[in-house]
Amino acid sequence: MAGTGTFSYAPAIALFPLVAFVVALVFGKYMPKKGAIAGIFATAGSLLLSLVMFAAVAGGEVYHETLYEWTSGDITSQVGAEEIEFTFGILLDPLSTLMLVIVSLVALLVHVFSLGYMNAEGETGLPRYYAELGLFTFSMLAFVFADNLLMAFMFFELVGLCSYLLIGFWFRTRSAPSAAKKAFLVTRFGDYFFLIGVVAIAATFGTVAFAGDDSFVTAAETAINDGTQLFGFDARTWVTITGLLVLGGVIGKSAQFPLHTWLPDAMEGPTTVSALIHAATMVAAGVYLVARMFGYYALSPTALAIIAFVGGFTALFAATMGVVKDDVKQVLAYSTISQYGYMMLGLGVGGYVAGVFHLMNHAFFKALLFLGAGAVIILMHHEQDMWKMGGLKDKAPVTYYTFLAGALALAGIIPFSGFWSKDEILYDALIVGLEEPVILAAYAMGLVAVFFTGFYTFRMVFLTFHGEPRSEAAEDPHPVGWAVKVPLITLGILATVVGLANLAPIAKLLSIDITFLEFWLDGEYGAIEGLTYHEYHETVPFEEGYISSETVTMLIGAGVSLGLALAGAFTAHTLYNVPEPSRHMTKLGGAYTVLRSNYYQDEFQVWLAEGVTQPIARAADRFDRTVIDGTVNGVSSISLFGSSRVKRIQTGIVTNYAALLVAGFIGLLLVLGLYGGWF
């Protein structure tokens, strides 16, 4: 492949943060800013290199190189491969380079923001914080440019570890460690299926490579075409099964229903962490993985439909819960879940571009919103309850306007970035849905969610920034420094304009080629064989239907979603954009409690853990101590009892001995006599 010259620096993208991790861990204590500097330089370096790679890909080059063989060995795979290699390699194609840029950019901004958020607040344990941030960035970047499923899984797990550590950063509290544990366990549950998927795919196709002729995608395609039997299933079914198994990991990491419960709790971590990990990047890992191996899912309509439906449902489900939260971060958390639902929906209906597009946009505006929330929290002296805020608009204009930009993007108000991507997703869902009822249902849910999104977003904005201050903290907010503002502004601009990357509706209306992202992902500039949008699109087995014409359909879709978003925003305005907003909980009636308690999802999972698993474990323990160990001890006590009896024949009276002796002798005589037939 060409361009290895530039690309040979690719590993450094991930290695810089790794170095930062080591440095911060070992020397952080003695460094100015406790290791932040190292992190900032490292992420800056990564960003720089990522941009270089991006440019290189834009220049029509791609990079797919195996760097290091982990291990290899003989197998007898279902498709007849005799040998398998597990390697670490780099795959730089449009998708991964785009993601690299996003991740390293957000990471850099978060590092900078941390200066204002953590250092300024005089936290302890900063070296640990920056080290873990570095480790996370390393793992995330490595995950992004992984060229095979196993490597992806490994770094997938590592980001999980970092998430655990960072959520539990304030380990001296009771809640943070618990939230961290929950986050890891729930995602681990998903990863269990993911790992089965990896193992299954490897055992089936004898390869775990994403791209190239020896990728498992290609192998699966050939298997399906040849009608091979895989582990007793016909190929397509098996692909569906394995695909869904991998999807388990995705659902866990991207906090999709029913494994979404960890994300709101994860807000126990520092807000910067929430911004980086639980909004922009790690949570995106799941969706990114689907996009990464989209070719595989494209082979299985069932899997796609399930993805779409789960996505649509989660989008609505989470949005409804976001409506009633008081904690600003909680609202953002549920909106994150909801937004990833959209991405899943997009990918599920084959809207590869739409999904990735929304992934990108969301990364920016959600990072923005979280950092904004972080700024608000600084302003509010670490108060997160929106009901204690209010009126911050004038006191912190920068925060307000950037936050607003993010909110508009999130709500999907034209022309902010969120609108374009969300609209595209819904459009793709609609056209497929017209043929596929399941998808239509998913679309419907996504559509309804738009309303809620608009509502809770602006409820948040109004409660936080508008009206009268509702606490003395809100009266005189704590000022924020440049380290806070710079990232906000940067992201604010991005959130506003990044939508330009793919103005599909405009392009269709005016029929001009401005859908850059689509071209990008379609490999107009350069891509790896098989990993391009149109190839996916050909594989995706869905029919597409239109209401009268394509344009009309698009306009209807766009109009409806925009209308709903505005409606939501307006409702919020009427309810909350008043000097003294009230909770309006009665309006929802019984539903309110249900929503407040998140549909009792947590209760359910806690019950699973404590109501089911624990008793079983205790029962097993009791069984073990009584029955199994009892048997062991029983044997010994029985023999000892026997011993205490046996020795009683030694009565101490010599006459008895003589008698017993004679008796024994006669007994022996009898036995032998009977055998020998003496009498």
Give the residue carrying structure tokens 């929950």: 182
511 binds another protein (CB under 8 A): no
Taking the least distance from each CB to another protein, the nearer of 150 and 217 is 150
Near another protein by CB under 8 A, which window of 185-193, 317-325, 463-471, 496-504?
Answer: 185-193
Tokens of 313: 């449902």
Taking the least distance from each CB to another protein, the nearer of 122 and 678 is 678
For residue 250, give the nearest of 212, 288, 281, 203 by alpha carbon.
288
Quote the least distance from Cβ 358 to another protein, whole Å: 29
Tell me the angle at which helices 282-292 and 235-253 cross, rounded to the nearest 10 degrees.
160
Angle formed at CA 593 by CA 450 and CA 451, multiple of 5 degrees: 10
Cβ count near 100 (within 10 Å):
26
Q: Report d(CA 315, CA 542) in Å as an integer.
A: 22
Near another protein by CB under 8 A, which window of 66-74, 278-286, 372-380, 542-550?
Answer: 66-74
Tokens of 383: 């108060």
Near another protein by CB under 8 A, which window of 68-76, 90-98, 255-263, 435-443?
Answer: 68-76
Quote the least distance from Cβ 73 to another protein, whole Å: 5
End-to-end CA distance of the chain: 101
664 binds another protein (CB under 8 A): yes
637 binds another protein (CB under 8 A): no
Near another protein by CB under 8 A, which window of 40-48, 186-194, 267-275, 476-484?
Answer: 186-194
Q: Report d(CA 324, CA 277) in Å as an integer.
A: 24
Q: Report d(CA 13, CA 493) in Å as an integer.
A: 25
563 binds another protein (CB under 8 A): no
**Site for another protein, residues 605 to 634, rule: CB under 8 A:** 609, 613-614, 616-618, 620-621, 624, 628-629, 632
660 binds another protein (CB under 8 A): yes
Taking the least distance from each CB to another protein, the nearer of 16 and 205 is 205
**Site for another protein, residues 198 to 237, rule: CB under 8 A:** 199-200, 202-204, 231
Q: Report d(CA 184, CA 207) in Å as an integer.
A: 28
Helix (H, G, I), strand (E, B) or coil at 672: helix
Near another protein by CB under 8 A, which window of 14-22, 55-63, 434-442, 650-658?
Answer: 650-658
Q: Are 410 and 335 in contact (CB under 8 A)?
A: yes
**Site for another protein, residues 411 to 430, rule: CB under 8 A:** none
Taking the least distance from each CB to another protein, the nearer of 187 and 338 is 187
Residue in 8, 551, 574, 639 binding another protein, rule: CB under 8 A: 639
670 binds another protein (CB under 8 A): no
Taking the least distance from each CB to another protein, the nearer of 586 and 631 is 631
173 binds another protein (CB under 8 A): yes
Q: Report d(CA 389, CA 478) in Å as an integer.
A: 13
Q: Report d(CA 417, CA 494) in Å as an integer.
A: 8
Quote the least distance from Cβ 82 to another protein, whole Å: 11
> What are the helix and strand counts (H, E) for the chain?
32, 4
Q: Classify residue 609 by its DSSP letter.
A: I
The stretches of 501-549 forming alpha helices (DSSP H) are: 504-510, 516-521, 533-539
669 binds another protein (CB under 8 A): yes
What DSSP assignment string belongs to 378-396? HHTTS--BGGG---HHHH-
**Site for another protein, residues 118 to 157, rule: CB under 8 A:** 150, 153-155, 157
Taking the least distance from each CB to another protein, the nearer of 509 and 670 is 670
Which residues have a Cβ under 8 Å from the Cβ of 664 and sit 6 or more positions away?
Answer: none
Angle formed at CA 107 by CA 106 and CA 109, multiple of 5 degrees: 65
11 binds another protein (CB under 8 A): no
The amino acid that residue 634 corresponds to is G
**Site for another protein, residues 590 to 609, rule: CB under 8 A:** 609
Residue window 482-501: x/- pattern of binding to another protein, with contact defined by CB under 8 A: --------------------
Near another protein by CB under 8 A, which window of 192-200, 271-279, 416-424, 495-503?
Answer: 192-200
Taking the least distance from each CB to another protein, the nearer of 135 and 442 is 135
Tokens of 254: 């991207």
The burial of 679, by beta-carbon neighbours within 10 Å (0-12 exposed, 13-18 middle, 19 or more buried), is given as: exposed
Taking the least distance from each CB to another protein, the nearer of 269 and 346 is 269
Taking the least distance from each CB to another protein, the nearer of 229 and 651 is 651
Residue in 19, 120, 185, 507 binding another protein, rule: CB under 8 A: 185
Residue 577's H or E segment, with its range, is: none
Q: How many residues bind to another protein according to rule CB under 8 A? A: 86
Residue in 74, 82, 394, 472 binding another protein, rule: CB under 8 A: 74
Which residues have a Cβ under 8 Å from the Cβ of 636 and sit 6 or more positions away?
Answer: none
Q: Report d(CA 319, CA 460) in Å as an integer.
A: 13
Residue window 18-57: x/- pattern of binding to another protein, with contact defined by CB under 8 A: ----------------------------------------
Quote the least distance from Cβ 515 to another protein, whole Å: 38
